[in-house]
Structure 1
Amino acid sequence: MASTAFVSSGLEFVPNNYAVPLNNVNAPEAFHLLQNFLAQSPIGRALVEPEKLSVLQIKSFWETGVYDDGGDSGTPSIVFEFQETEYVITPGTVRAAMGFGEHNAYTIAVGDADLLRMMREIAYGGSLTKIGQLKRPFLRKEWSFFFDCITRTFGKKCTNWDAIPTDSLQIGYSLLYGTHFDSGRLVLINLGEKMTENRGVVYFARFCQLLFSACVSGVEIIDVDVIPCFKLHKHIFSDLINKDVKKGNVGDLLMPALVQQFLDDSIQVEQQQEPVNIEVSPTQPIRTGGRIKHRAFKPAKIIKPSTEVGVSNSSVPKSVGTSKKSRAKRPRSDDVEDSETLHHRRRRLMFLKLN
């Protein structure tokens, strides 16, 4: 596990493209819901895999890759060479390798108004005058963790992790509203730009390994070539908890409809597996650093791009050597029921789970 930049085989690897902690074992209960939600989301695999990195394979990918931005209406691509064979990477290749799934249309980007509305819906406590100046410390610990995971994995930077980049907001919006943001296209563009900018400094080491392994089959990683992977340490949880304590009144933990549905499904599964026999008062409060309030998001307007924007919806070329991964399951976007009886029953089940 690495936490600072290091040099291997003549390349500098900077702290970026972290693997994030989605295992509940070492995490406080308050973070389990969003850990599980992220783990089962379309970006779940990209947040944690692979665990083993080969410096020689990454070096081959990084030093031979040729990036083409596709122009105004084309499709971006990277062509790299290994053992005298060329491999072509398109957004479809990235989606297949990382399990993002394929859709008929993609949300290129939602507008600032939608992103700001999302932040209001999760109780962002800072100024919302400029979308480019949003900071994680103004969020409750749970949502701060959510955006930290996304930024540490997908952000094309290696410092200033408190800032929430627009790309992270777009990815977060797609998960919370169920839109089809083209994360594969974003990953390819960020990789290509960093690769072209400096061949001696490697960004997105995990993604380089994922794409190399997806394209070049049958090449094993030799132990002597293994390099450490940047990982988000478990002390992030205590840091976020302490920051919330210092802030005092952190407000309600607001849950978008998809997260609420995910919670409801989880409770239902637990109830079926472990029948509850303990009586709990229907007025028993639930506290996790602030009063929990269930609140559903309003539907977002989806931008349906035409084929002119250059998004490739075709399958991955056979020459790339990838196979389609099974689509990650999305939480259903059913409306949250708000009857008083059902509300109290959910609160009782949550109280039992938390205590």
Structure 2
Amino acid sequence: MDLDRIRETLEDAGFTQYEAEVYLALVRNGKLSATGIAEATDVPKSRVYDVLRTLEGRDLIELYQQDRLRGRALDPGSLVERLRGRAASFEASAGDLSELWEEPDLGEQEVTLVTRLETVVDRAKRAIRDAENEVQIAATIEQFDRLRPVLREAFARDVFVKLTITPAEYGGVPDVGDREFDGVVSEASRSDLPGPFLVIVDRSRICFTPQPGTAHNFGIVANNVPLADVFHWYFQTSLWEAWDLVYTTRNAEPPITYVDIRQCVVDVAPLLHEDATIEVTATGIDPETGDARTVSGTVVDLYYTGSSAGNHYPTLPEVSGKVTMFVDDGEEVVSIGGWYAHVEDLELRRLTVQSVSESG
């Protein structure tokens, strides 16, 4: 038995050096006089009496007279339980400290590398809890199930949740049905290929780990707008657009709501080319003032790559550059851009196509 280790543990638990020595002497011997304690320890006899009374006050020993003052240790059960509790607390704190080191709070525009998938998933949960407009996710069914509670909360807050389910391994096509998604996601697609774990929140926060089995054991958690834009387009082109839609809450007929102006333009451009009257309501941010703004009116023009060349049926990659929608609200024509718009009148967050009327 390592008495020195026990003594150090007691001191870590709040005992003074003398208190630890006297207490251990009594536990080992059962009962001792003050003189016997002084002889069995390095505690001066003049201090033994004070230490004994302190330990008695903490219900660790009892004092009694038998020709002289003696002390006897009480059942240490309560102290043992307290030490075990402190040990558990130390263990938990050690884990928390390690995690804090690995995943510091992200400041503005910060990017952090981590080594554990658990850390990335936990950060994804936090980010989703703070989501205000949009969440994009690529995940296995197991990962999706872990995020389901916070996604359900986000969906209830009217956050648009777009999900791609990926298989955990090659050849394992995910088996999912509508019940998996009701009240949790806005749209879902199903991939035939394993992919990374990726969560993008409000086009600014990123949680990412590479595809399982690639031998790349790292993750990225970030609050970084330019990087989020890169991951957004990776998600759109590689993890979303390439796969069949298996679930949607989007209406087939107006009103139809979009959180991405580019997807809206892909759907609206052919209609506008055919001279349809398209009524929309757009909400977003005024780039000059930072204030929320809502615009309602008729779509009168679109600008995107290829529009000047008469490409009226663009695909999503063909509107990946600058894109602007022009809406006549009855008093002026308002220009609407996507996230991070600078020259347009409105930086879009949501757009609802209220009605589409064919010409003639």
TM-score range, shorter chain: under 0.3
Structure with the bigger percentage of helix:
1
Higher relative contact order (CA 8 A, sep 6+): 1
Normalization by structure 2: what TM-score? 0.24
Normalization by structure 1: what TM-score? 0.24
Structure with the bigger percentage of strand:
2
The structure having more radius of gyration, on CA atoms, is 2
